[in-house]
Amino acid sequence: MPEELIRLNRIRAKMAATLTHLPNYTCTQTVERSSRPGPSRRFRLEDTLRIEVAFVDGREMFAWPGESKFEEKSLEELSQKGSFGTGTFAGFASNVFRSDAPTFRYEGEDVVDGRRTHRYGYEVPQFRSTFLMRVNTLKGIAGYRGSFWSDADTDEVLRLSIEAFDIPPQLDIQASTDLIEYQKVPIGGVPYLLPKTAELTMVGSRGVESKNLVRLTNCRQYAGESTLIFDEAPESGPTSTPAPPQPPAEINVPAGLSLELRLEAPVDTAALAVGDPVRFVLLKDAKYKNSTFIPKGATVTARITFARTFMEARPYQLIALDLAELTFPGATARPKATLQEAGFYPIPGQDARLNPTPYRIPGLRAVAVPAGIRNLFLVPSTGVKLTQGLTFRWRTD
């Protein structure tokens, strides 16, 4: 048997064992999304998305930062914008190293980050592929090919590339490439080989390119949601088990409530990412039919839904946020509300003569924001810190 084939079998077996014995874990995933109109132009950063991703039994599950419950939603369901490919971290490695779908070829020696490596090419035809590509609401299965680089001394995989082919025509994509870098990361005190970064680039039929630069940080073991089951306890006696605390009741918030909220901590607008939580506290009782419905001091979490810098004669930022959760003793709610005032910063008016998404700001050009984005306010500079104590006024829908 040729040495290249013996080495390939050894590398695949080692990577398959690594993937099989990975614990369930979660990381913070930061995605910088950029675009350019053609290869002769520079990429321009569109926005940054930050989410929590959990890898549970080989599946990718997502949650917004600060939330405890992960769901099997895709990135585009969370962000409602952009181009994505599923399985960037969990799926591709498993399919290449654990399945019989790919065919392989030896491509010689190479150097990666100063380490001598062996490079192998692989290919998975469309009819054997599970590579699901998505562009907004459209999706389809593509074939894929690429290479992987393994350390010549340890057989440890350092890099994996993926290039789509036979892309479904309805996706309007000319090309899609992905490059994943790996590193050893301690999970529960044990080092495991995990993805570190990935760079996904897509080219549309008209030459417009989009690029997602993905970083995984703060990886730790995923414990899941604990559920305590109590045996039936005697009604009295010193060994009685106390009843577990009751979770707060979820309430529906009526329309028309005025919520005056105070920012609880400074917010650095230069570091904002879509998905970041922003904490507030309610300054006054919210009244409904002359009675207090939500008491003063209730805590409110909002979430960034849009954050982008625009470079004009004077640079400025547009930021949008939605209320995510409101809590006070004994109750919790997920209110829908419209931003009425944003501290000292103006709220841009919508210009209905253009279309539902562009916003015209006095003295500045009309700018387009994704459909569905609301509660925008303008910061007339870049890198501004929204100070603690800044007030935001909302009205519930």
CA distance linking residue 337 with residue 259, whole number of Å:
9
CB neighbour list of residue 113: distance below 8 Å, 6 or more residues apart = 158
Q: Is the dihedral of CA 338, 340, 345, 349 positive or negative?
A: positive
Tell me: pLDDT of 19 over 60.
yes
Band (pLDDT 50/70/90 cuts) for residue 66 is confident
User: Are the beta carbons of 36 and 42 closer than 8 angstroms?
Assistant: yes
Structure tokens at 79: 């962000």
Alpha carbon separation from 167 to 59, 75, 176, 179, 215 (Å, rounded) = 24, 20, 9, 18, 26
What integer pLDDT is reported at residue 261 of this predicted model?
95
pTM of the model: 0.80
DSSP-assigned states of every residue in 343-393: TTBPPPEE-TTT-SSEEE-TTS--EE--TT---EEEESSSSPEEPTT-EEE
CA atoms of 174 and 204, how far apart (whole Å): 5
Question: Residue 378 has what pLDDT?
Answer: 87
| C-beta neighbour count of 343 within 10 angstroms | 16
Under the banding of pLDDT at 50, 70 and 90, the label for residue 83 is very low
Tell me the average pLDDT across 34-60: 86
CA distances from 386 to 81, 148, 326, 339, 345 (A): 26, 45, 21, 16, 10
Helix H or strand E segment including 28: strand 25-36
pLDDT score for 132: 85
- In tens, the pLDDT along 264-283 reads 999 998 889 999 999 999 99
Instruction: Determine the Cα–Cα distance for residues 196 and 326; give it in Å rounded to an integer.
Output: 35
Q: How far is CA 6 from the centre of its chain?
A: 39
- b (16+ CB within 10 A) / e for 90-116: bbbbbbbbbeebbebeeeeebeeeeee
Comparing 3-17, 61-75, 365-379, the range with the smallest average pLDDT is 61-75
Give the CA-trace dihedral at 358, 361, 366, 369, to 10 degrees: -30
Structure confidence at residue 234 as a pLDDT band (50, 70, 90): very low
Strands 249-250 and 331-333: parallel
**pLDDT number for residue 75:** 58
- Average pLDDT on 350-361 reads 57
Q: What is the pLDDT of residues 144-199, one digit of tens each?
A: 999 999 999 999 999 999 999 999 998 888 999 999 999 999 998 889 999 999 99
Which amino acid appears at position 155 of this protein? D
| Placement of tokens 């389809």 in the chain | 140
- Of 91 and 157, the structure prediction assigns the larger pLDDT to 157
Residue found by looking up tokens 């926005």 in the block: 47
- 383: pLDDT strictly greater than 80: no
pLDDT band at 215 (very low <50, low <70, confident <90, very high): very high
What's the mean pLDDT when you consider all of the chain? 84
Question: Would you state the pLDDT for residue 282?
Answer: 94
pLDDT band at 67 (very low <50, low <70, confident <90, very high): confident
Coil, strand or helix at 206: coil
The Cα–Cα gap between 321 and 310 comes to: 18
